[in-house]
C-alpha cells in the first residue's frame, strides 16, 4: 500500500528491536487472537482491482505485544460495519484519514505535534500496525487509531458523509509498470468516493517520489470538480512543515530523487437548480 519508511529516531520504539516472534499455530488459529483479523471484510469480497497487496513480514516481540494489548483499545478492523468517529476517538475532535503509513514513525510524529486532531491510520502491514500502536503507547499518544484492511471499504461502507477533515496519502505504491497503472490509488473513482466523506474545506495531501505518478496525481486532482489546488500556480507544493522528512525520503533526496507534494482542498458542495 505504501513505501515502507526507514526507522526514525523517536522516543520509545520497540521493546526488543530485531527480535521476531515465532509461534507454531494450530490450523485455523488466528495469528493474534486479540489483535487485527487476517481478513476482516471477508464477507464483503468483491471483484475489484485493489491498489495494495498484503505483505507478510516477521513481527517483533514489541509489535506483537502491542497488537495483543492495544488492538481492542485503539484498533479497528475494516469489516464493513458503520463506525462512529466520535465514539472511536472518545470525543468530537477533527479526524484525518491516512492511507498507508509504513512503520508509523511519521504518523506518530504528526500525532504528537497535533494532539487535538485524530489520525485514523489505515494499512494492511501487520508489523507496521504493531509498531505504530507501540509508539503511541510508549509516547503517550491518545489521538491515533489504527485500522486494518481495505480503505475503500472503510470509506464506502463505514464512514458517514462529511465526516473527515483531511486525507493523507504519502508514498503510495506507484505501480510503475504500465499494465499496473490501473492499480494506483489516486484515480477519478477514488476521488469521487473520498469527496463524499470529506467536509468542505478538508485538505487532501499526497506525496510521492515517483515523478510519473506525481504528474498523474496532479492531472487527476486538477480535473476533479470537487477539489481545487491550494497552489495559485496550479502546481506541486513544497513539503509542509507538519509532514516529517523520513530517513527513507532523505536517502532518496540524497540520491537525486524528486519528492512532490500535492495539497488540494475539498470545495464547497455545489447546489444544483432544483435541489433545494
Reference 252, options 217, 211, 216; nearest CA is 211
**Distance (Å, whole) CA 118 – CA 165:** 10
Residue 126 per-residue DSSP state: H
Listed residue (122, 221, 236) closest to 172, CA to CA: 122
Distance of CA 194 to the CA centre of its chain: 13
**Alpha carbons 52 and 89: distance in angstroms, whole number:** 26
CA distance 183 to 176: 10
How far apart CA 28 and CA 115 sit, in angstroms, is 39
- Asked about 173 being catalytic, the answer comes back as yes
Please identify which residue in the block is written with the cell numbers 489546488: 229
Report d(CA 239, CA 261) in Å as an integer.
6
β-pairing, 118-123 vs 75-77, is: unpaired
Element (H, E) at 95: strand 95-99
Select which of 173, 192, 209, 233 is catalytic: 173
Give the Cα separation of 209 and 258 in Å (integer).
6
Closest to 185 in 3D by CA, of 79, 99, 97:
99
Residues noted as catalytic: 173
Amino acid at each position: 500500500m505504501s513505501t515502507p519508511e526507514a526507522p526514525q529516531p523517536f522516543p520509545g520504539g520497540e521493546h526488543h528491536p530485531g527480535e521476531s516472534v515465532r509461534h507454531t499455530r494450530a490450523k485455523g488459529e488466528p495469528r493474534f487472537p486479540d489483535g487485527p483479523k487476517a481478513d476482516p471484510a471477508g464477507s464483503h469480497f468483491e471483484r475489484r482491482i485493489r491498489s495494495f497487496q498484503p505483505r507478510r513480514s516477521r513481527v517483533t516481540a514489541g509489535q506483537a505485544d502491542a497488537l495483543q494489548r492495544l488492538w481492542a483499545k485503539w484498533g479497528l478492523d475494516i469489516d464493513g460495519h458503520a463506525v462512529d468517529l466520535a465514539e472511536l476517538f472518545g470525543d468530537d475532535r477533527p479526524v484525518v484519514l491516512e492511507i498507508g503509513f509504513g512503520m508509523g514513525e511519521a504518523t506518530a510524529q504528526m500525532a504528537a505535534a497535533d494532539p487535538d486532531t485524530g489520525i485514523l491510520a489505515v494499512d494492511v502491514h501487520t508489523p507496521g500496525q504493531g509498531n505504530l500502536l507501540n509508539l503511541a503507547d510508549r509516547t503517550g499518544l491518545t489521538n491515533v487509531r489504527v485500522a486494518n484492511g481495505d480503505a475503500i471499504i472503510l470509506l464506502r461502507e463505514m464512514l458517514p458523509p462529511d465526516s473527515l477533515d483531511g486525507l493523507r496519502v504519502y508514498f503510495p505504491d506507484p505501480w510503475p509498470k504500465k499494465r499496473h497503472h490501473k492499480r494506483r490509488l489516486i484515480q477519478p473513482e477514488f476521488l469521487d468516493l473520498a469527496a463524499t466523506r470529506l467536509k468542505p474545506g478538508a485538505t487532501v495531501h499526497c506525496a510521492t517520489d515517483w515523478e510519473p505518478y506525481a504528474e498523474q496525481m496532479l492531472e487527476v486532482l486538477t480535473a476533479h470538480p470537487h477539489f481545487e489546488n491550494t497552489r495559485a500556480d496550479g502546481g506541486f507544493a513544497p513539503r509542509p512543515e507538519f509532514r516529517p522528512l523520513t530517513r527513507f525520503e532523505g536517502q532518496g533526496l540524497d540520491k537525486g530523487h524528486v519528492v512532490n507534494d500535492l495539497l488540494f482542498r475539498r470545495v464547497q458542495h455545489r447546489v444544483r437548480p432544483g435541489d433545494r
